[in-house]
Structure formats: C-alpha cells, structure tokens
Structure 1
Amino acid sequence: MTTRRHLAGLLAAAATVPLGLPLARPALAQPATLPEGPIRLVVPFPPGGPNDLVARVLAQKLGPLLDRTVVIENRSGAGGVVGTDNVAKSEPDGRSMVLTSAGAIAISPPLGAPMSFDVEKDLAPITLVALMPELLAVNPKLPVKTLAELIDHAKKNPGKLNFASSGNGSMPHLAGESLRAAAGIDIVHVPYRGAAPAVTDLMAGQVQMMFADIPALLAQVQAGALRPIAIGSKERTPLLPEVPTMAEAGLPGVEADNWYGLVAPAGTPKPILDRLHDAAVRALNDPELRKAYAEQGARPVGNTPEEFRAFIASETKRWGEIGRRADVRMD
C-alpha cells in the first residue's frame, strides 16, 4: 500500500470516529479543559511534502484523543519560518500548534536568517514528533557505487562535482557541507528553490549528487533513476536496508536527520501543554501511525518537552557551527 493510499485510508477512518467519543485511555487526574472549537495544526510547508504527510497522520490520531477537530493549515514560506511565526504570535490558549522543522528553529536562527520570533522566548516545545533521515544519492552515470568511491572520485576531480540542495541553509545543504568538510573534498553547492527541481536536475545529470529527505528520492532510487550511496542517520532505514549509514560507509562524523517537532505559543498554560503532550505521545505510539510513518521513512519519537527543548539547543549549536565554518548565507 502506498503512503498516500494508506494516509487516505486513515483520514477516511477518522471521519467515522465521533468527536465526542475519545479512544479508550487511562483516566487523567483533572485533565485540562481545552477551549471549544477546532485546534489548528499549522504545517509551515506546502501540501504533499514530508512535513505535510507527517502532520496529517498525526492530526487524524490527535482529534479523538483531544475530543476536538484538528485542522491542518498550510502556511509555507522562508523554510518553515513563516508558519512557525504565525503560531508564535497566536493566542496561547491551546488552539494553535505548529509541526515545525529543524530549518525553521535550529538552522535559520544561528545562521542569521531574518527572524520575527525568538525560539526560546516565543515557543513552547511539546514533543519531537519524528526524525526523517537524509539520503545521499548520485546520478547513476557517475562512476561510483560507494561513499569511498565517491570521495576518491571527488578528490581526483576537484571543483567538478556539483551537489544540489533544496535551498541555501537547508538541511540538505548543511549535510553536503558536513560531507565536504569531513571528507576533505572540493564540491560545488547548487541551491534550488525546493527539492523537486533539484531532484529533476539530479536525474538529468545537471548536478551529480544530493542529500534529501528519503521521500524526495525514494521513488527515483527504486526505479533506478538515482543511485543511493549512504543514509545520514545513525540507523539504516527499512525502506532501503542495503544502503549503509554514513558511519558504516566510513564517515562517522557526518550525521543528518531532518526532524519535525510540535510546538505551541509561549505562555500556553502548563496543564494545557501537558494534555497536548499526552495526546501527542499516545498518538505517536499508535500502531497505524507508526506504520504510516515507516512507509515514509520517518521514525516517530515522542519525548518530553524538556528533552525536546534540550534537543533543539543541541541541534542549533551543531548546525550553526557547520554553517558558520562553511560560510553559509541564508537567502
């Protein structure tokens, strides 16, 4: 079953669940009362992308757990900053959340992107929802099949290999910069406005290599139009079990997982945040959700707000250092 067909099935099933009849769960001591009306879950990217699909499956499970309709609202722009800013400035009453990303709250701030909100002051972390491994793939005409061969080829052809990304300062861009520094190779960055045109040019041979979220490359890899080289995460993905991690391929210092996390406006009362967190974690442990995420290559997490806040700080430091060393300038 394809991801979209499975997602459609989940959404259809959701329509049959009465809003007043939550899924069975242990009783909570004096649960916080949410305001009446729907809850907005802002997706700061266009419909159809990995972030959007992850959010829609999550929303389908959150509705019954919260006894509310959870409505997806796509507000794209500036690599996720626009949609995240919208929620940062919303009323802190539990009716607005955003499934934000690494780029919006851990990469853009340390690299000097124009920001209209402060991550620490204006956002309340709820939980890290999912990790999305970055896949390194090459045009199949490139005479390499392994990471070692790619590095060797790049060293023999300095400045002649181009690596694409979905934009300056994006996760794929910084993953490529991390590879460049760790391998000591001279490769040229070619930014695009989004993953789709970058993948198109990669298949055409206009660029030779690219990191991207697995869903952006999977169909082309499975069709033989692109050749997978390595996975940026700590673990292999069941979608491409034969593809080694970067560490297994010889570069343990290169790790790249995109990620999506649930946040609310700062000032949201703690009892409400606790209820949103409880529902999110329960949703992320739902077998149907985990199956749908696995079909996209995503790994559900569901940690505490404190753990998520510490994770954001760690990621901000790591990607900020990589970006500054490479003199990355945000668009």
Structure 2
Amino acid sequence: MLHLKQAWQIVFFVFLTLGSSIAFAQDWPSKPVRIVVPFSPGGSTDAVGRYLANKMELATKQSVVVENITGGGSVVGMKQVVGGRTDGNSIVLTGSGSITVMKHTNSSLPLDPENDLTPVTLINTLPHWIVVKADRPEKTFQEFVEYIRKNPGTVSISVNNVGGSAHLALASWAKDNNLDIIVVPYRGSSAAMIDLLGGSTTAHVDVVGSSLQFVKAEKAKALLLLQEKPIASLPNIPPSPARDKGGLLVYGQHVLAVKTGTSPEVINKIYEVVKKITVEPDFIAYLQDLGYERMDTTPAESKAILTKESKIYADFVKATNIKVN
C-alpha cells in the first residue's frame, strides 16, 4: 500500500512539473525580454539584434530591448545571461566563435559558453572573406597564394581579434600549406580596414558584412569567400575549395542562446517565434544586404553544428598553439 501511495505521489509530481513547464512556455514572454549583444553598438551583430528585437516585439506584443554589454571579447555579456534566470527572458545574440572558439584559446574563462548556454537557433550565416586593396595586381586567390610563396615572410594579413575564429583558421591554413605569412590581429574591422587601404597590411580576413561597403565602393576587392558555398547576393565572389585542397575556411553563424536549464518548452517557444520572423521577405533581404544568408536550425540542430565546429577549432588550437592567456 505504501509503494502504491509513493507511486501516485511520483506521478502527481511529474504531472505537476510537466504542467508547470507547459504553462510557463505558453505564458512566454510574460514580461519584457532583453537581447544581450556582447559587442558595441553599430556592428553587424548589433544591427541584426535590433532588427530581430523590433520584429519580436510585434510578434509577442511584449517589450524586447537590446542591451550592448561589452568586455572580455563577449564574455561580460554572456555572463549576464548565464548569471540570470532560466525563464527565457534574457537571451544572448553573439557570433558562434564566442561559444566554439574561446574555451579553447582561454583556459581562464569565468564560464564555459558551450555548456552554460543552450542555443535556440542559428539566425544566419556569418561568412568571411579575404580582401585586398582594389589596385593590387592579383585577380584571384590562387594568384595571391603564389605571391605569398614568392615573397615568404613579407605578406601581412590582418584579422579582427586575437585568438578568434579567423585568426585560428588563417594560421592553421598557412601551416597546412607551408606558407610563411605575418598574421596581424586588430581590435575590430574598422582599424584593420583603414590600415589595409593605407597600405600598412597586405590583406584582411573579415566578416563580409563588416567590409562590404569598401568592396561596393571599389576601394577593396574580395578574392575569396571563406566557405564552400557561394552567396546568392555576391555571385561574383568565388567560394573556397575544401581544406584538403588548399582552401581557407572560417566557420561562423549568429547564435541566439539562453541560459542552460531553461525548459525545452520555453526554448521551443522562442524558436517558433524567431523562425516565423526569419522567413519574412524583408528580414531575408536585410540579411542579404549585410552579405548574410538566413538559416533555420532547430535547437537540437544548432547544438550539433556548434559542437562539430568546436571540435574543429580545438584542432586548430592544437595545430597553431594560439592562446590568449
């Protein structure tokens, strides 16, 4: 009799917990939502975040605000979300490198982004390219590689930050292909592009959206997309071959994530709201203007992609021994 009573208590507890989770998900968002962008205002992540927030407000009839919380290469902003509640009302929008790269290059991180955050969805691709001054004689990436081989130790290629995805991919590519280059890390694209156009560096590996304006203005030219698929809005820029064929690949996306421990019901509710927004023609057009392409990955698919890319960057770190601490 006692066992039967205990069994009914367990069933009641499970039913109560499940019912609470479902009700909580149905109520989301029950209060204002904040999207934490761990980068400065005006950048491409901030731009996507604000466009998304406006759309989410219309869809949920609830206030959705973007908070730019900078510092530590996105660590401070992520900590704000990880240190908050598991109610889905505090969300982070960041580049996937914050989750897949930083844990491998910085052993003193105050959090483990890959485990402390749970992805809701990958909003869009975050394609990179390699750009040079418009007046350089090389017309193709292969011609540029040949120039590097003929001028070892003199070609300087800048990246946007130390130990980031571009830095690791570039250094690993150079090592794999026996190329002697100088990698020059900057703090952001703006300063790097100024120095590129001023002749201080030879080339720059950048997020497409950050330097697209210079290519459109014909001040710079893109030699290669650092992914294997072309971009529909940039049909004249060739994609990279595979890594085993000498290709230079940088993996990245914009990730929407919540604190781990948030219920699957709430995560799925956020995903369904965002999914409906990202299929709207004006949202797709907005992304294309930045050189991005829409993605539609479920929470489970997003986790699988990030886990796979984390392993790739772990291998890059082992190959290059690049650390930031």
With the length of structure 2 as denominator, give the TM-score of the two structures. 0.87
1:58 paired with 2:58, answer: no
- Structure 1 alignment gaps of length 5 or more: 1-27
Q: CA separation in 2, counterparts of 1:156 and 1:40?
A: 52
What is the CA-CA distance between 1:159 and the residue it aligns to? 0.3
1:204 paired with 2:198, answer: yes
Q: Which amino acid aligns with 2:253?
A: W
Q: Residue 100 of structure 2 contacts residue 114 of structure 2 at CA under 8 Å; is this kept in 1?
A: no
Aligned to 1:34: 28
1:284 paired with 2:278, answer: yes
Aligned length: 304
Identify which of 141, 148, 151 aligns with 1:147.
141
Q: RMSD between aligned alpha carbons?
A: 2.2
Aligned to 2:211: 217
Q: Residue 223 of structure 2 contacts residue 238 of structure 2 at CA under 8 Å; is this kept in 1?
A: yes
What is the CA-CA distance between 1:41 and the residue it aligns to? 0.4
Aligned to 1:93: 87
Identify which of 166, 169, 189 aligns with 1:172.
166
Aligned to 2:292: 298
1:263 paired with 2:247, answer: no
- C-alpha change, 1:257 and 1:155, in structure 2 (3 Å) is same
What is the CA-CA distance between 1:291 and the residue it aligns to? 0.9
Identity rate of aligned residues, in percent? 28
Higher helix proportion, which one? Answer: 2
Greater Rg, structure 1 or structure 2?
Answer: 2
- C-alpha change, 1:69 and 1:266, in structure 2 (3 Å) is same
Pairing of 1:223-234 with structure 2 (within 5 A): 223-234=217-228
Q: Residue 172 of structure 2 contacts residue 319 of structure 2 at CA under 8 Å; is this kept in 1?
A: no
Aligned to 1:192: 186
What do the CA deviations read for 1:251-284 (whole angstroms, capped 9, x no partner)? 4643224311111111212221121111111111
Q: Residue 133 of structure 1 contacts residue 257 of structure 1 at CA under 8 Å; is this kept in 2?
A: yes
Pairing of 1:8-157 with structure 2 (within 5 A): 32-34=26-28, 36-157=30-151
- C-alpha change, 1:120 and 1:173, in structure 2 (3 Å) is closer
- C-alpha change, 1:249 and 1:271, in structure 2 (3 Å) is closer
Q: CA separation in 2, counterparts of 1:238 and 1:118?
A: 35
Q: CA separation in 2, counterparts of 1:273 and 1:293?
A: 23
Match of 2:126, SS state, is strand
Q: Residue 280 of structure 1 contacts residue 302 of structure 1 at CA under 8 Å; is this kept in 2?
A: no
Match of 1:82, SS state, is helix
What is the CA-CA distance between 1:249 and the residue it aligns to? 12
Q: Which amino acid aligns with 2:41?
A: P
Aligned to 1:11: none
What is the CA-CA distance between 1:82 and the residue it aligns to? 1.6
- Structure 2 alignment gaps of length 5 or more: 1-21
- C-alpha change, 1:139 and 1:323, in structure 2 (3 Å) is farther
Aligned to 1:158: 152
What is the CA-CA distance between 1:143 and the residue it aligns to? 3.1
- C-alpha change, 1:315 and 1:113, in structure 2 (3 Å) is same
- C-alpha change, 1:330 and 1:179, in structure 2 (3 Å) is same
What do the CA deviations read for 1:191-235 (whole angstroms, capped 9, x no partner)? 111111011101111010111011221111122221210001222
What do the CA deviations read for 1:71-129 (whole angstroms, capped 9, x no partner)? 00001122222211211111111210001222211000012253222234421221111
With the length of structure 1 as denominator, give the TM-score of the two structures. 0.86
Q: CA separation in 2, counterparts of 1:248 and 1:316?
A: 18
Match of 1:180, SS state, is helix
Identify which of 222, 228, 236 aligns with 1:242.
236
Q: CA separation in 2, counterparts of 1:240 and 1:78?
A: 33
Q: Residue 24 of structure 2 contacts residue 266 of structure 2 at CA under 8 Å; is this kept in 1?
A: no
